[in-house]
Every structure is written in structure tokens, then in C-alpha cells.
Homo-oligomer: A and B are copies of this chain.
Amino acid sequence: MKVSSKGEYALRALLVLGELHGKVVSIQEISDKTLVTVSYLEQILLKLKKLGYLESKRGTNGGYILKRETRDINIGEVIRVLEGPLSPMGCASITKYEPCQLEPSCQLKPLWSLVRDTIAYVLDQTTLEDLLENRIALNKGDDFLAFKRTN
């Protein structure tokens, strides 16, 4: 159930860029602050740019800059685009459903669906702004969290 390095590093980079919102930050500087190598970041940042999260500026004093508002960057979305569906099992995925042999009578699927829903609930509800302000879902409801299944 691990999250991959790409997703993790993308979030680290977004945090750096969010903190310096409005400023152009070079890959090198992001690398220093995230402890991710420059060459790996190249890949990740370029992808984030193509997905519309960042803008870039070339040449001397160039770098990346956050394009959207931090409150409009959804963590679930970022993780999904960088490493695929949140569901622990293809058959329970909403964004990328894949059939399963035993599906008609499967007694596990409801569990996977529930797991998917809970993860999606947490991540889709969290924005970059929330992370920057150390305001995660947990604290929103006073160490108490409730949710409804949305489908």
C-alpha cells in the first residue's frame, strides 16, 4: 500500500513552490530543499507543468512557478495523475476500473471499495493550502472524521 517516490517528491516540490508562491524557483533550489536529485526532479516537474500545475521560465534566473492557487490544488488529484488510481484493487477503482475474475460473487470487493472510498475521501478533501498550513482533515473536525459514500 505504499505511495511511490514520484508522488511523494511531486508533493514535496509543490510544497516548496507553494511556500514561495509568486516566485520563480530553479530546479536546483527545489532539489536542495526536497533532497531529490535535479535529474529526477526534471521529470517530475515537467510532468506537473504539462498537467497545468506549474509554469516555467527558461534561461538565467529561470525556474518553475506555481500556476494555480494553493487552495485549488487537490492532493488526491496529484497522486492520481502521478501514480495512478487510489484504489487498492482494479475492480474497486472509479477512475480506472478493471474487471476481476471473481467479481460477480466476490466478497472482497465491498471491502476494497470501502478502502478506496476512505482514501479518496481523505486525499480529495485535502489541498496544498491545507498542507502548507498544517491543517489536515484530521483537525478539521476535531480529531473526529465522518464521511459518506459518494457512490
> Chain B contacts of A111 at CB under 8 A?
75, 122-123, 126, 131, 136
Report the minimal beta-carbon distance from A127 to chain B, rounded to whole angstroms: 11
Within 8 A of B (CB), among A101-134: 101-102, 107-108, 110-112, 114-115, 117-119, 121-123, 126, 131-132, 134
Residues of A within 8 Å of B, CB-based: how many? Answer: 46
Q: Are A114 and B137 in contact (CB under 8 A)?
A: yes
Q: Are A136 and B118 in contact (CB under 8 A)?
A: no
The answer to the question of A46 belonging to the interface, with a C-beta cut-off of 8 Å to chain B, is no
> Chain B contacts of A118 at CB under 8 A?
118-119, 121-122, 145
> Chain B contacts of A101 at CB under 8 A?
35
